[in-house]
Amino acid sequence: MAVVELTLVPIGTQKTSCSPFVAAAYDAVKDNDKVEIRLNPMGTVLEGDIDELFACVRKMQEAVFEAGADRVYSVVKIDDRRDKKASLDQKVNSVMSKLV
Beta bridge partners of 80: 2
Helices marked H in the chain — which ranges?
Answer: 19-29, 50-66, 88-96
Q: Given phi > 0 = left and psi -120 to 50 = alpha, else beta, which region is 6? A: beta
What average pLDDT does this structure show over 27-34?
Answer: 97
Output the domain CATH number for residue 46: 3.30.70.930
pTM as predicted: 0.89
Judge contact between 2 and 49, C-beta under 8 A.
Answer: yes
Tell me the residue range of the domain where 12 lies. 2-96
Q: Check whether 2 has a pLDDT greater than 90.
A: yes
The helix/strand count (H/E) of the chain reads as 3, 4
Question: pLDDT value at position 85?
Answer: 83
- Alpha carbon distance 41, 34 (integer Å): 23
Judge contact between 37 and 57, C-beta under 8 A.
Answer: no
What average pLDDT does this structure show over 5-24?
Answer: 95
Q: Check whether 100 has a pLDDT greater than 90.
A: no
Number of domains present in the structure of the chain: 1
Question: What is the spatial order of strands in the sheet that 43-48 belongs to?
Answer: 36-40, 43-48, 2-11, 71-80
Model pLDDT for residues 45-99, shown as the tens digit of each residue: 999 999 999 999 999 999 999 999 999 999 999 999 889 887 888 889 999 999 9
